[in-house]
Amino acid sequence: MAVAGHDVVVIGSGINAMVAAAVLAKNGRDVGVYERNPRLGGAIRTEADTPAPGYTTDLMSCWHPLFVGGPAYPSLEDDLAARGLVYRNTDIPAAAALPDGSTAVLSTDTDVTAADFDRVSAGDGDAWRAFLTDFGGRADIAFGALGTELLSLDGLKLVARAAWKLGPRGLQQFGSEGLESARSWLTGTFASPTVQALLSPWTGHEGLGPDDAFSGFINKVIALALAQGGCPVPEGGGVRLVDALAAVVADAGGTTRTGAEATAVEIRDGRATGIRLADGERVDARQAVLASVTPQALYLGLLDGVAAVPEQVRRAARGYRYGRGDMQIHLALSEPPRWAHDHDRLSRAAIVHVSAGLDSISRAVNEAQRHLLPAVPTIVAGQPAALDPTRVPDGAGVLWLQLQETPGHPVGDAAGQIDVGDGTWTHDLRERYADRVVDELSRHVTNLDSALTARRVLSPADLEAWNPNLVGGDPYSGACSLDQFLIWRPTPRTRGHRTPVRDLWHIGASTHPGPGLGGASGYLAARQLSRTPRFRARPRHRG
C-alpha cells in the first residue's frame, strides 16, 4: 500500500500528542497525527446537544488550570488565540459544601480566602497566608519538578538551583515535605475541618487519596495553582483547544487523521522509522515517532516482538498499575443550580466539592480501592456555565459531576444497597449508582429535582470504551503512587520520555509529569527533539 511520510509521526491525539505536534510544527517539522477514534482530542470530548438540546458538554475532562499555568501554554498562547481559543475564568475556582451547612471558598484574591478561612476558624487565614509565602517562595522548584525532564541536563540544573536557593538542610526539608500526606499537612496547618474539606479533595484530581504518601505535595501544588490562576475553561468547550492545536499543525503543513489506528511501530536497524495502520498502510517517519499510549499498549502491543526492547522493560510494563475508575454525570437544568447555603459565592465557583469532610473523603477512597461502591461518594460538582454561559440555553444551568472514587470492576456496595452482580457496569448498575449521587447532591442544591431536565451518565467501562488509555476507567492513565511518579513514571526501567528504541518517544498521562490536562509530557518531548543536533528541519518535497 502507498506509503505516506512525515518528519514526525504522532500516535494519538490527546492533549500531550496535540501539544507536541503543534510545538514541532511551529519549529518547521512536517508532522502527522494519527488517531484511532473518529474525532481528535483523547480525553477531551465535547458534544453539542448533550445531555439535552442547546447544551454543550465536556463529557470527560473539562478544566484547564494545569495547561494555562503549565510550560506549554506560554509558547503557544498567541497561536491559539489567533485561532479563536478564548479562556473564561472566575475569581472563585474552588469551594466546599458539607452536610451541616458549612462552606468555604478558595479565591484568587488572597484577602478573600484568608477572611473566609478566619470566618470558620480564627487563625486559619494567617495559616493560608503563611502557606502562600512559604510554598509560593519555592514554587519555581515545585512546578519545575513537574515541568522538567528530570533525568536530563535540565533536571540536574533544577536540582542545582534548588540546592543553591534552599541550602543542603532546606533541600532535605523540602524533600521530606514532598513525601508527606495531605492529611498530615492539612491537619497540622489548618484547624478547621471545613478548610480541610475544601482542600483535601483536590488530591483526587491526581488519582491520590489524602492519606497517600506524596499527596501533601500534590495538594500544595494544586492549591497554589488555583490561588494564582483560577480554574479556566475554553469558551465553547475543550474541543476549542483541540481545534486550535490542530489548526497550528495544519497551517504549518502538517496533517491530522482520524479513524487511523496504529497497530505497530516500524523498526529498522534499531530505530523507529514509521508506523503501520490497521488497514495495512505504512506511514514513514523520517525523524521520530511519538506514542501517546499506555506502557502496555506501547511495549506489549505496538512493539510486540521487537528485539530492541529488553525483557526487563516488558516486565515493568506488565506490572504498571492503574488507579481507581471514574464516573461522569452530566445534568441539564432549566435554571442555574441554587445552593442551599452560601449560594451567592458557591454559584460563582468553578468546582464545588461536596463531601462530609476529610475522614469521609478518605473512607470513600478506601472503599473504592477495595472495589466497593462508596457509601458516601465525594462529589466533584463542576459548574462550567458559571464561567462560560455559551454552554447552556439562556437562563439554564448545568452540573458537570465527577466521581473519582469509582471502582472499575466493583465487587460490592459499601452501603449494602446495590447489587453489583458480577461487577460488569451494566446500564442498571450505572444508573442506580448515579441515583445515589444525585440524591446526595439534592440535599445541597435545592432546585435539583425541580430544574433537572436531562442527565447522561458515563461509567468507568464507558470511559475505557471511548479511550483505551483509560484502563478500567482510570482517568489518569495509571496510579500516581510515588513508585509510579516523577523519575519512576511510567516505570523505573524507562528513562524519561525516551524508549529503548531510538527515535521513539513515549508521551501521555502515563509518563512524567503524569495526568492533569497540562500537555507537559508532549511539550517536554518536543523540546528535546528540537534540541537534538541531527533532528533538523528537512526540505519538504510536495507534489
382-391 pLDDT per residue, tens: 999 999 999 9
**Over residues 397-419, mean pLDDT:** 97
**Grid coordinates standing for 77?**
498562547
Q: Among candidates 399, 292, 253, 418, which has minimal Cα distance to 339?
A: 399
Average pLDDT, integer, range 473-493:
91
pTM score, whole prediction = 0.94
More confident residue, 175 or 84: 84
What pLDDT is attached to residue 4?
72
Q: Answer for the pair 96, 353: CB distance below 8 angstroms, yes or no.
A: yes
Mean pLDDT of the chain: 94
> What is the pLDDT, as a whole number, of residue 271?
95
pLDDT at 541: 35
Instruction: Identify the band that residue 537 occupies on the pLDDT scale cut at 50, 70 and 90.
Output: very low
At 167 the pLDDT is: 84
Summarised one tens digit per residue, pLDDT across range 59-115 is: 999 999 999 999 999 999 999 999 999 999 999 999 999 999 999 999 999 999 999
Q: Which of 164-178, 231-245, 469-483, 484-498 has the lowest mean pLDDT?
A: 164-178
Taking residues 468-487, report their average pLDDT.
92
Confidence (pLDDT) at 362: 97
pLDDT the model gives residue 176: 78
- What is the rounded (10 degree) CA torsion for 201, 204, 208, 214? -60
- The 3-state DSSP class for residue 432 equals helix
- In contact, 336 and 347? CB cutoff 8 Å: yes
Measured CA distances, 436 to 51, 183, 418 (Å): 19, 27, 10
| pLDDT tens per residue, range 434-467 | 999 999 999 999 999 999 999 999 999 999 999 9
Q: How far apart are CA 17 and CA 257, in angstroms?
A: 13
The grid cell for 21 is: 505536534
Pick from 214, 148, 19: nearest CA to 497? 148
Q: Which position has the higher pLDDT, 516 or 114?
A: 114
Q: Is the dihedral angle over the CA atoms 20, 69, 354, 484 positive or is it negative?
A: positive
Grid coordinates representing 439? 440524591
pLDDT 10s digits, 315-370: 999 999 999 999 999 999 999 999 999 999 999 999 999 999 999 999 999 999 99
Question: Strand (E) positions, 169-281?
Answer: 233-234, 255-257, 262-268, 271-277
**Residue 512 confidence (pLDDT):** 92
Residue 540 has pLDDT above 50, yes or no: no
- Domains, the chain, ordered by start: 4-42+65-85+237-320+477-531 (3.50.50.60), 91-229 (no CATH), 324-466 (no CATH)
DSSP 473-513: G-TTSS---GGGSGGGSS-TTS-TTB-SSBTEEEESTTSTT
Average pLDDT of the segment spanning 126-140 = 93
pLDDT tier for residue 8 given thresholds of 50, 70 and 90: very high
* Residue 2 pLDDT > 60: no
**Residue 518 phi/psi, 5° resolution?**
-110, -20
* pLDDT average, residue stretch 43-60: 97
* pLDDT per residue as tens digits for the range 18-45: 999 999 999 999 999 999 999 999 999 9
Query: Mean pLDDT throughout 273-293?
Result: 97
Q: Which residue has the cell 456555565?
A: 385
Please tell me the least confidently modeled range out of 5-14, 110-119, 408-417, 477-486. 477-486
Q: Residue 170's pLDDT band (boundaries 50, 70, 90)?
A: confident
What pLDDT does residue 539 have?
A: 40
Say whether pLDDT at 141 is over 90. Answer: no
Q: 296 Cβ partners below 8 Å, 6+ apart?
A: 317, 318, 320, 471
Burial class (CB in 10 A: 0-12, 13-18, 19+), 394: exposed
Whether residue 532 is predicted with pLDDT greater than 70 in this model: the reply is no
C-beta separation of 64 from 237 below 8 A: no
Q: Report the candidate in 280, 290, 188 with the shortest Cα–Cα distance to residue 249.
A: 290
Query: Are 510 and 489 a contacting pair, CB within 8 Å?
Result: yes
**Other CB atoms within 10 A of residue 491 CB:** 20
Q: Per-residue pLDDT for 187 more than 50? A: yes
